[in-house]
Amino acid sequence: MFGSAPAPATLAMVQNTPGNNKVDCAIARPASASDVSADILNIGVPAGVRAAQLGMALQKSGRTTGYTQGTINQVDVTVTVNYGGPLATFTGQLLAGAMSQGGDSGSAVLDSSRNVVGLLYAGSTNTTIMNPIQLVLDALGVELVTA
């Protein structure tokens, strides 16, 4: 027999500063620590955090596209993302080539040494857009779990 599910969490936008958004991220607490692992499928446990650099090789494991690789094509990018009606502009973002599709949002993006450099949140058939990981960690007040 299944136990009763916990009450659903209340979701709300924390901040939307027109033209000056830095991150699109969220945090959740698992019902049980045994439900989660620091191991990223096909990559392993992150080694640490690193600032992205132009031309850096990337890897990620996403829900839709699985394991893919790419390269940082631009840093310090300003993008406007369409959220199905509302538009939000983000500054200081990272841009890579086509290494994601819808459903991959929330994927950690790592360099070839397994250092997390970004959090994937948007893209198209040609591009992948990421928040620099340190901005995400600072906004959420969390630390990365490493090996």
Average pLDDT over all residues of the chain: 89
With b for 16 or more beta-carbon neighbours within 10 A and e for fewer, the 119-143 pattern comes to bbbbbeeebbbbbbbbbbbebeeee
The answer as to whether 79 is a domain residue is yes
The answer as to whether 12 is a domain residue is no
Tokens linked to 8: 């659903």
The answer as to whether 65 is a domain residue is yes
Question: Can you give the residue range of the structural domain that contains 133?
Answer: 40-139
Q: Does residue 1 register a pLDDT over 80?
A: no
Number of domains in the chain: 1
Q: Give the pLDDT confidence of 83-139 residue by residue, as tens digits.
A: 888 889 999 999 999 999 999 999 999 999 999 999 999 988 899 999 999 999 999
pLDDT confidence of residue 102: 92
The answer as to whether 115 is a domain residue is yes
Which residues are paired to 126 by β-bridges?
Answer: none
The answer as to whether 33 is a domain residue is no
Please tell me the pTM assigned to this model: 0.86
pLDDT band at residue 2 using 50, 70 and 90 as cut-offs: very low
For range 2-16, the mean pLDDT: 48
Which 3 state secondary structure label does DSSP give 76? Answer: strand
Report the chain's C-alpha Rg in angstroms. Answer: 16
pLDDT confidence of residue 20: 81
For range 56-74, the mean pLDDT: 97
The answer as to whether 1 is a domain residue is no
